[in-house]
């Protein structure tokens, strides 16, 4: 049995700079901005805050947990043996850290549950909003509304946010948290959308692109490099490689210094390739790879526009926060037209300059926040600031959109509908990918044949 050999020039445990982007499992603090840096708008007062927030850091799901445990038990025996024998081990500290790290059995009984780290992420978002828009605490109690999907991680995130928002104040908004809806077509419309569930989430296109990724030369090269660093006497599969990556990326988010010893087997170039797998997966499952995702993302933007439009008409105040999942965040980003590449992502080829980066868009606690201001300037009545992960976007400039600009951008969503989900004749087109549902294609061919027959 060969010994574990890492690079002669690299030790993970004391590396001054480690890679921080891990797709949708990226720690929020690694990519967020700070809404407290939002530009102050003189003469304007916030009267409406609307937000769509992904739950905070969570445990892995049941399948991932089982596969991680199987791989851990398989590898840790070899690693302990190599550490004890001290044979051919360069970075002994990395190997010792792996050998002495135990399996966390809590993961097996709390799959997908919000973690303490996740609670703090969301609590802090609420706190920063309170510190930035201090006037919202003067809103009447019935102006606040909170709702989540029916999952432990989103329900608990809602509680964390409300407590962060009201911390250090006498305001109690616990009763303003609505119960999850049995069918929520605003913040989880895809869940009951038959076309999405059949043709997108479990569709052949997604499977084909992921298969192409796993068989790509770049991914296989990563597997070989990691295999060499492990220096074990059996070949790890591409799937085992990915579960080692899963172990690394989940566990590092629970560490105060955002490191985990099991990440030591990857160099940055490996992590960049592994990060791409979820970019491809989410592109076709939640993103521009499927046209229906844009329709599904438009539903929640209708809610945003309708609420702000009502406020400008009635002169009232409103604070709305929804808690959902990365699927909804990414669909909404698509409906907004953000992070759109000129060419579709492919599993077989990684464009290092791609715009679609789930690490930057949909990390744990990812969020979309819009703020409506009432202004006392004679030439305008309202302005809107728009943030993604507490950063400005090109949706509105730093000092906000005028109300007219906002209407021009968002009124289109007021007609959004998810009736398409029950339309059996929907021409399901995989955007830019060449996969087209046969219904309208067949009708077009029939029409052309009729025209040709009349011509001749």
Domain-located, residue 16:
no
**Region 29-51 average pLDDT:** 98
Residues 247 and 379 in one domain: yes
pLDDT at 445: 37
Residues 163 and 209 in one domain: yes
**Region 346-351 average pLDDT:** 98
- For residue 216, give every residue at least 6 positions away whose Cβ sits within 8 Å of its Cβ, in sequence order, or none: 347, 348, 349, 350
Query: Given a cut of 50, is residue 60 above it in pLDDT?
Result: yes
Query: Given a cut of 90, is residue 8 above it in pLDDT?
Result: no
| CB atoms closer than 10 angstroms to residue 151 | 19
Among 281, 227, 274, CA closest to 248: 274
Instruction: Tell me the chain's radius of gyration from C-alpha atoms.
Output: 25
Query: Given a cut of 50, is residue 68 above it in pLDDT?
Result: yes
Domain-located, residue 178:
yes
pLDDT at 328: 99
Domain-located, residue 250:
yes
Mean residue pLDDT of the chain comes to: 91
pLDDT at 16: 87
Domain-located, residue 18:
no
- Which residues have a catalytic role annotated? 55, 326
pLDDT at 41: 96
Domain-located, residue 239:
yes
Residues 177 and 277 in one domain: yes
Residues 317 and 398 in one domain: yes
Residues 397 and 434 in one domain: no
Q: Where are the alpha helices (DSSP H) in 196-267?
A: 204-214, 217-230, 238-253
- For residue 42, give every residue at least 6 positions away whose Cβ sits within 8 Å of its Cβ, in sequence order, or none: none
Percent of the chain past pLDDT 70, that is, above it, reads 89
Give yes or no for a contact between 14 and 100, defined as CB atoms under 8 angstroms apart.
Answer: no
Residues 326 and 367 in one domain: yes
- Token code pair at residue 65: 């947990």
Residues 219 and 314 in one domain: yes
Residues 214 and 362 in one domain: yes
Residues 239 and 305 in one domain: yes
Residues 392 and 444 in one domain: no
Residue-range definition of the domain harbouring residue 157: 23-415
Q: Does residue 354 sit in helix, strand or coil?
A: coil
Domain-located, residue 8:
no
Residues 308 and 434 in one domain: no
Domain-located, residue 50:
yes
pLDDT at 380: 82
pLDDT at 441: 36
* DSSP classification of residue 349: B
Domain-located, residue 3:
no
Query: Given a cut of 80, is residue 66 above it in pLDDT?
Result: yes
pLDDT at 349: 98
Residues 59 and 197 in one domain: yes
* DSSP classification of residue 116: H
Question: pLDDT, tens digit, for every residue of 381-409?
Answer: 999 999 999 999 999 999 999 999 999 99
pLDDT at 9: 62
Rounded to an integer, what distance in angstroms lies between the CA atom of residue 241 and that of residue 255? 22
Domain CATH code at residue 340: 3.40.50.1240
Name the domain count of the chain.
2
Question: pLDDT, tens digit, for every residue of 161-194?
Answer: 999 999 988 999 999 999 999 999 999 999 999 9
Name the more confident of 2 and 421. 421
Burial class (CB in 10 A: 0-12, 13-18, 19+), 456: exposed
Question: pLDDT, tens digit, for every residue of 102-146?
Answer: 999 999 999 999 999 999 999 999 999 999 999 999 999 999 999
Neighbour-count burial for 158-176, b at 16+ CB within 10 Å, e otherwise: bbbbbbbbbeeeebebeeb
How many CA atoms does the CB half-sphere of 381 hold within 13 Å? 9
pLDDT at 7: 46
- φ/ψ of 325, rounded to 5, equals -130, 170
Question: pLDDT, tens digit, for every residue of 193-235?
Answer: 999 999 999 999 999 999 999 999 999 999 999 998 898 888 9
Among 329, 331, 330, 322, CA closest to 296: 331
Q: Which of 50-64, 126-140, 415-429 has the lowest mean pLDDT?
A: 415-429
How many CA atoms does the CB half-sphere of 122 hold within 13 Å? 30
pLDDT at 436: 34
| CB atoms closer than 10 angstroms to residue 39 | 11
């Amino acid at each position: 049995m060969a010994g574990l050999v890492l690079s002669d020039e690299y030790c993970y445990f004391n590396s001054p700079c480690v890679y921080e982007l891990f797709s949708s499992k990226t720690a929020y603090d690694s990519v967020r901005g700070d809404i407290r840096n939002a530009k102050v708008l003189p003469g304007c007062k916030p009267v409406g805050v609307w937000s769509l927030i992904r739950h905070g850091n969570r445990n892995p799901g049941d399948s991932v947990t089982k596969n991680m445990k199987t791989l851990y038990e398989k590898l840790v025996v070899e690693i302990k043996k190599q550490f004890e024998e001290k044979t051919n081990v360069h970075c002994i500290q990395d190997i010792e850290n792996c050998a002495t790290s135990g399996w966390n059995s809590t993961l097996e009984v709390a799959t997908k549950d919000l973690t303490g780290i996740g609670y703090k992420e969301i609590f802090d978002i609420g706190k920063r909003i309170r510190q930035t828009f201090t006037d919202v605490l003067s809103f009447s109690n019935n102006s606040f509304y909170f709702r989540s999907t029916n999952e432990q991680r989103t329900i608990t995130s809602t509680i964390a946010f409300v407590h962060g928002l009201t911390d250090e104040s006498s305001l109690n908004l616990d009763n303003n948290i609505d119960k999850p809806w049995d069918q929520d077509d605003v913040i989880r419309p895809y869940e009951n959308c038959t076309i999405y569930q059949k043709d997108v989430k479990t569709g052949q296109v997604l499977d084909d692109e992921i298969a192409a990724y796993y068989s790509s030369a770049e991914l296989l090269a990563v597997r070989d490099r990691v295999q060499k660093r492990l220096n074990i006497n059996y070949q790890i599969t591409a799937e085992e490689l990915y579960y080692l990556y899963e172990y690394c990326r989940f566990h590092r988010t629970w560490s105060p210094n955002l490191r985990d010893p099991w990440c030591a087997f990857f160099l940055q170039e490996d992590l960049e390739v592994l990060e791409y797998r979820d970019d491809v997966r989410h592109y076709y499952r939640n993103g521009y790879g499927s046209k229906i995702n844009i329709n599904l993302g438009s539903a929640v933007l209708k809610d945003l526009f309708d609420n702000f439009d009502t406020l400008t008409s009635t002169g009232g105040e409103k604070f709305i926060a929804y808690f959902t999942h990365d699927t909804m965040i990414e669909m909404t980003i698509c409906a907004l037209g953000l992070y759109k590449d000129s060419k579709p992502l492919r599993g077989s080829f990684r464009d290092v300059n791609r715009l679609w980066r789930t690490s930057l868009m949909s990390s744990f606690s990812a969020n979309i926040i819009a703020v409506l201001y009432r202004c006392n300037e004679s030439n305008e009545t309202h302005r809107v600031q728009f943030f993604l992960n507490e950063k400005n976007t090109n949706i509105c400039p730093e000092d906000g959109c005028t109300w007219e600009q906002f209407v021009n951008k968002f009124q289109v969503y007021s007609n959004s509908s998810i009736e398409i989900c029950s339309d059996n004749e929907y021409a399901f087109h995989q955007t830019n990918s060449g996969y087209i549902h046969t219904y309208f294609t067949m009708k077009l061919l029939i029409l052309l044949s009729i025209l040709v027959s009349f011509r001749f």
